[in-house]
Chain A
Amino acid sequence: MSYQVKLPDIGEGIAEGEIVKWLVKEGDSVKQDQPIVEVMTDKVNVQIPSPKNGIIRRILAQEGQMVKVGQAILEIDAEGQEQAEMQPPSQVTKEEISKKEEKQTVQENVIATPSVRRLARELSVDITKVKGSGPLGRITEQDVKAYAQQRTESATQMTETVTKEKEEEVEIYQLRGVRRNISEHLVKARNATVAVTHVDEADVTELVSLREALKGPAEKKGVKLTYLPIIMKALIPVLKEFPFVNASLDDEREAIVLKKYYNIGIATDTEQGLIVPVIKNVDKKDVFQIASELNNLAEKARNGALTLDEVKGSTFSITNPGTFGGLFATPMINWPDVAILGIYKISKRPVVKDGEIQIRDTTYLSLTFDHRVIDGAYAARFMSRLIEILQDPKRIMSEVL
């Protein structure tokens, strides 16, 4: 008997995913629970196991395709049930008809006239994303144009112009996988926040020596200690003091939600692009624990092995472009967080201290925040407080361990 495998509910309110890779092909036999397909949702890959023993009959979704939860992605001739006896195919053919029809009407919940659907294609608008203003939610020509207009104004404009170039002069990469998620997420972040960046300078000479001092003990515990875990720990008292930075804005409820837990997202560069794994409950862990978790997550991120849980639920984030040089940047907020801390390259610079020029380890720090939630003065005070802690080794020691 043929059995349709649907994209299961992966949880966390995820409604769709992208087929990244089929691990089986038509004609293969599969065992129950054997992974059959890799699906990417919101920045992580999930492997979907086969619900049954059987033989893969037909793959219904191509790699790169977005599928909705509940949508059929595969047909399995399930084992155990009697194969229908050999029949002339007239019947089989009819059975196929309905399936084929189903395949050809994927957009059946979209109401739009054929010419409007074509317009959407011409403007590279995914019509399933457009909200219809007409009767029964019908999508009008105006709706599609308005959507395209708004999109052009937003961040994806770049890819738009790329595809318009002459093909010989450019190389075109389809937005797939992580890249597509980044793109969608960033547009959302941009459209959902009013981002402003505040930059300050910190003398981190004491921090540098603190790390030197902790390196040995860290190695004994088998972890590589960077500045990041120390800064994360230093952040906790500041976040507690400035609760509006560890928060999110719930537009629907028109409410600011202050979070009493401290999950810090760490922007991580991988071969496929930017991923933000989250260290949970930073306030309850020591630097070494954090360091080892960081190494672990970074490794997983690079292998595409992160679970959904590991990239969800941040309350605040850190980006560390310093390792790649530059003075400072204006990062994007990791929405729905309201703020992101940027830490940059630590270098020796001349600093006037105690009335004389000294060579000190300094860095720039930036806080990009949603101005709807936080005002500039609040952000500046947050930053000063953080710098104060980072510059004071005794404070750091007590917070760090």
Chain B
Amino acid sequence: MQEADIAIIGGGPGGYVCAIRAAQLGLRTIVIEKDRMGGECLNYGCIPSKALITAVKLYDKIRNAQKLGIKVTGVEVDMQIMQAWKKNVVETFVSGVEQLCKGYGAKIIKGEAELVAKDRIRVTNKDQVEEISTEKLVIATGSIPLELPFMRFDHRSIIDSRDSLELTEVPKRFLVVGGGAIGLEIASLYQKLGSQVTIVELTEQLLPGTDPEVVRIVQRNLERKGVKIYLKSKVVYAEKTPYSVKVTVQTPEGNVEVETDKILLSIGRRPNTDKLNLGQLGILTDQKGYILVNKQMSTSVEGVYAIGDVTGPPMLAHKASKQGIVAAEAAAGLPASADWKVIPDATFSEPEVANVGMTEATAQVKGFAAAKARFPFAALGRSLTAGETEGFVKLVYDQNTKLLLGAQIVGSSASDLISEVSLAIEMGASVEDLAMTIHPHPTLPEGIMEAAEIASGKPIHQLRIGQR
């Protein structure tokens, strides 16, 4: 039997980061992974999706380079090569993670883990079974996609996000059920590759929970490119035929029949805890099955921690990793705490969307003197020179103190821009601090500075109301 100070179940961005930090702190560390190190994110999620999205975006740019004076003929996508390239990116990353773990002395054990007790794990790899006894335990088993009762994954015509990133042929018709981050990213991807894309979303907007003004830009872009979007709608019936799937979509205007080649079900995910005996061990979950944790990532059972998607939304790789660090440090007896103020998020749709902190509405609810300042990319030098003028930066702040509370950015590179605002919020900056910081010209982050100048009441590149 192997013995460990800390055993981590799951080698995703939560688990592997936790393992590295635990090993750095001198704990005898074991990380158990049934599939591939790097988890959903590296193998089937963030990394492969971003690889494909970037490749296809380049394709799209090349095709639209005409207006910049670049003549292009004969541009074609070879899905086989693109997939091979993506695979290579993933492989490089995964082997890098394995080397890091080993380099710091965290032991990787391959196999499926079951919890026998809070300090005992049974690992099954094909027909080999071994037991591990451990002082501390970290659950980092991630999440799995949900299905609908009448639409189960067959991984051919009804597919999950993993399948959708493995296709070597572009489907002619592509139906996305669920217009959240994952659904939108993949919808944009196949729209650019030439599929006729339809999106069905249950709520009244795409990216539920996001500032509607932001979502409008994304929706307009998709619709302009011919994507059919049904809001406040749901798929109520699906029937497979030999060559397609026919679905019935219940829309506010009545039922609509849609015929499609592939259906991506991206309606949400659930915690992956089936093998863990949570109930018997007294590890409490909420009603949806997400493990309840405190700020030290400790569960209701002493010595057992949980991190990442199993602890519930927001389901983001960077959140999982930071929680992994907190859990490792807490397990090692350090005074760690998940006391960050904000968790930024980014959606790689067309254009990109990134959020951090509060929206104006949330700030109001929380009792701040909420105000917003908006600067459109169309007025920014860098956006004009890049030919990408869609979108804006919106800052949310407190009118009295000028304290920065949040930002919503929609536009090219929004995912890269958001971090400046995250840092500012963590540092307790005011909008004036942002406005008075010199930003190089011409660059996209100037948009943040410009919005901050508006918030401070001293805009240069915008006429103030009353001065128009």
Contacts and interface: CB of A to CB of B under 8 A. Distances in A.
8 contacts: A87-B202, A88-B202, A90-B180, A98-B209, A98-B362, A100-B314, A121-B336, A122-B335
Chain A interface bracket (under 10, 10 to 19, 20 to 34, 35 or more)? 35 or more
Contacts of B284: 26
B286 interface: yes
Interface string B253-289: 0000000000000111110000000000000101110
Contact of A136 (B148, B177, B428): B428
Chain B interface bracket (under 10, 10 to 19, 20 to 34, 35 or more)? 35 or more
Contacts of B234: 87-88
B462 interface: no
Contacts, number: 103
Interface stretch (B2-10, B129-137, B340-348): B340-348
Contact of A113 (B313, B426, B430): B426
A104 B312 CA distance: 12
Interface of A: 26-27, 57-58, 62, 87-98, 100-101, 104-105, 107-108, 111-114, 117-118, 121-122, 124, 134-136, 138
Interface in B181-210: 183, 201-203, 208-209
Nearest to B432: A135
A87 B250 CA distance: 13
A395 to B, nearest CB: 59
Contacts of B294: 62
B314 A97 contact: yes
Interface in B343-378: 343, 362, 366
A27 B287 contact: yes
Contacts of B144: none
Given A88-B234, A90-B266, A136 B341 contact: no
A1 to B, nearest CB: 15
Contact of A121 (B209, B337, B340): B337
Contacts of B1: none
> Taking chain B's interface residues, is the majority helix, strand, or loop, or is none over half, making it mixed?
loop
A124 B336 CA distance: 11
Contact of A111 (B148, B203, B287, B428): B428
Interface string B368-396: 00000000000000000000000000000
A134 B342 CA distance: 21
Given A111-B403, A124-B335, A89 B286 contact: no
Contacts of A121: 335-337, 339
A88 B267 contact: yes
Given A62-B294, A96-B312, A100-B313, A91 B341 contact: no
A93 B180 contact: yes
B209 A105 contact: no
Nearest to B426: A114
Contacts of B178: 88, 90
B294 to A, nearest CB: 6
Interface in B25-54: none
Contacts of B288: 89, 92, 96
Interface in B399-420: 401-403
B428 A95 contact: no
A94 B287 contact: no
A195 B63 CA distance: 83
B338 interface: yes
Contact of B339 (A62, A91, A117): A117
A274 B463 CA distance: 66
B342 A94 contact: no
B453 to A, nearest CB: 18
Contacts of A124: 335
